[in-house]
Amino acid sequence: MTVRSGRVLDELSALAGEIDTPRAKMVFDLLAETVAAYPQTPAATFDVIVAGRGRRIHLKLEGLSPWGSIKGRTAVGLLASVAPRLTDHSRVIESTSGNLGVAMAGLCRELAIPFTAIVDDRLPTCMDRMIRNQGAELLAVAGTRDADDDLLASRIRLALHLSSLDPNVVWTNQYENAANPLIHAIWTGPELFTQLPHVQAIVVAASTGGTLGGLARAAKSSNPNAIVVGADVVGSRVFGGPSGPRVLTGVGASRPSRHLQEVTCDAVEIVPSWHGVARCREWRDKTGLALGGSSGVVLAAALRCLAARPQLTTVACVCPDLGDNYADTIYDDDWLRSQHAVLEGADDCPPEPLPSVELIQWAWEAEPPEMPATCAYL
Ligand SMILES: Cc1ncc(COP(=O)(O)O)c(C=O)c1O
């Protein structure tokens, strides 16, 4: 175990609270082993020219982690927080747009805890397979979308209903559970600021706001000079803006974030969804690195920040997942054509032009890691 993970484990046990049953101890010990074995996610460095000036962008690639996204860390925190409540009869449930479901399914399989993922029809097909193939149950809500064109409210209603019916059902509740931001404050954040101590800004996508809330807290203690920038899409209500149609999964939500009520970030960039999609495809074409949709949004937000702030020279982008989850959406030409109206019209009228960026060179911090095959875990 490294010193780094030793410190995380101390904080994790504070998060879990009183562990006084053998079952809870077994769960906590396995989560501790997971943290100790978790790799530091790599950062790829890109030197670019934005608005006529040379700048450096680091992409911290959370997709290169055991369950393919930053939600592996969130799942550890959520499960640690409910460990004292788990018995031999427990079933864990969680509402998810995909990545958290994959991570919870994987972790619960290792912990021998039955898991139910509550999803909706936007769940990417490959994530549906990944969740089922890890032995988890999938419950998909259907029906009319609410005013925000979103089934989040229905997913949450179902989770609430199931957990109130049966005391053996434990809902980890990523939307309200303080363990969500906390795990990023004690783990993701210190890792990022140790790995990239010189960054002047970090840019983080928001959905529940857990990652952003936690990293904003970590910045205050690890690098108080760094600006923390929240990234979201037009039409999302995470930061309280007006609702509208959205096409990207993982980023944005139809209601304001509970986790961002007490934490403030220094700036918020709300970008049109098509900028996120365009940056994903541009980066894939120029560098071979295919990012997930929310990472494209983060990159678009970072480039906007760099264009507007000449004093910023070095920025870190937290990239929640990679493009392998989006082969049949963002990287599929037919999908792109089918979403044309939302991407280029309704959510941003008149369409905001995409600022140009010149890529000079790029490098991994060490050797390029092996990219996961499309839809790993099949
Ligand atoms: C694809 C993707 N983007 C963004 C995020 C950030 O979400 P949250 O605000 O819920 O931490 C996540 C989740 O970690 C994600 O899976």
Ligand 1 neighbour 42 (Cβ under 6 A)? no
Ligand 1 neighbour 316 (Cβ under 6 A)? no
In a domain, 14, yes or no: no
pLDDT at position 362: 84
- How far apart are the CA of 1 and the centre of ligand 1, in A? 27
In a domain, 145, yes or no: yes
What's the predicted TM-score (pTM) here? 0.93
Q: How confident is the model at residue 376 (pLDDT cuts 50, 70, 90)?
A: very low
Cβ atoms within 10 Å of 339's Cβ, excluding its own = 19
| Amino acid, single-letter form, for residue 89 | H
In a domain, 129, yes or no: yes
- How far apart are the CA of 53 and the centre of ligand 1, in A? 31
Asked whether residue 121 falls in the same domain as residue 186, the answer is: no
In a domain, 199, yes or no: yes
Q: Which of 135, 138, 92, 99 is nearest to 113 (CA)?
A: 92
CB 121 within 8 A of CB 143: no
Ligand 1 neighbour 172 (Cβ under 6 A)? no
Asked whether residue 258 falls in the same domain as residue 328, the answer is: yes
Among 171, 198, 220, residue at a domain's last position: 171
Average pLDDT for 287-296: 95
In a domain, 26, yes or no: no
Inform me whether the pLDDT recorded for 12 exceeds 80: yes
Ligand 1 neighbour 292 (Cβ under 6 A)? yes
pLDDT at position 156: 94
From first CA to last CA, the distance across the chain in angstroms is: 30
Question: What is the domain extent for residue 133?
Answer: 70-171
Tokens of 96: 């998810």
Look over the chain and give the mean of its residue pLDDT values, rounded to a whole number. 90
- How far apart are the CA of 64 and the centre of ligand 1, in A? 15
CB 55 within 8 A of CB 313: yes
Average pLDDT for 37-58: 94
Average pLDDT for 243-255: 89
Tokens of 116: 């139910």
- How far apart are the CA of 364 and the centre of ligand 1, in A? 23
Inform me whether the pLDDT recorded for 109 exceeds 50: yes
Tokens of 74: 């969130």
Cβ atoms within 10 Å of 20's Cβ, excluding its own = 8
Average pLDDT for 89-99: 96
Asked whether residue 40 falls in the same domain as residue 94, the answer is: no
Asked whether residue 138 falls in the same domain as residue 262, the answer is: no
In a domain, 135, yes or no: yes
Q: How confident is the model at residue 103 (pLDDT cuts 50, 70, 90)?
A: very high
Ligand 1 neighbour 211 (Cβ under 6 A)? yes
Asked whether residue 339 falls in the same domain as residue 222, the answer is: yes
Asked whether residue 208 falls in the same domain as residue 167, the answer is: no
Among 152, 171, 190, residue at a domain's last position: 171
Asked whether residue 155 falls in the same domain as residue 243, the answer is: no
Average pLDDT for 80-95: 95
Asked whether residue 299 falls in the same domain as residue 323, the answer is: yes
Inform me whether the pLDDT recorded for 149 exceeds 60: no
Asked whether residue 303 falls in the same domain as residue 217, the answer is: yes
Q: Name which residue leads in pLDDT, 145 or 251.
A: 251
In a domain, 58, yes or no: yes
Average pLDDT for 303-307: 95
Inform me whether the pLDDT recorded for 371 exceeds 90: no
Split into its structural domains, the chain has a count of: 2
State the closest ligand 1 atom to the C-alpha of 74, by its place in the atom list counted from 1: 14
Asked whether residue 59 falls in the same domain as residue 150, the answer is: no
Q: Which of 192, 206, 186 is nearest to 265 (CA)?
A: 206
Ligand 1 neighbour 330 (Cβ under 6 A)? no
59, 251, 257, 319: residue to mutate for ligand 1 pocket, most atoms within 8 A of CB: 251
Asked whether residue 129 falls in the same domain as residue 191, the answer is: no
In a domain, 212, yes or no: yes
Inform me whether the pLDDT recorded for 301 exceeds 90: yes
Among 144, 171, 198, residue at a domain's last position: 171
Asked whether residue 200 falls in the same domain as residue 244, the answer is: yes
Inform me whether the pLDDT recorded for 10 exceeds 90: no
CATH number for 89 = 3.40.50.1100
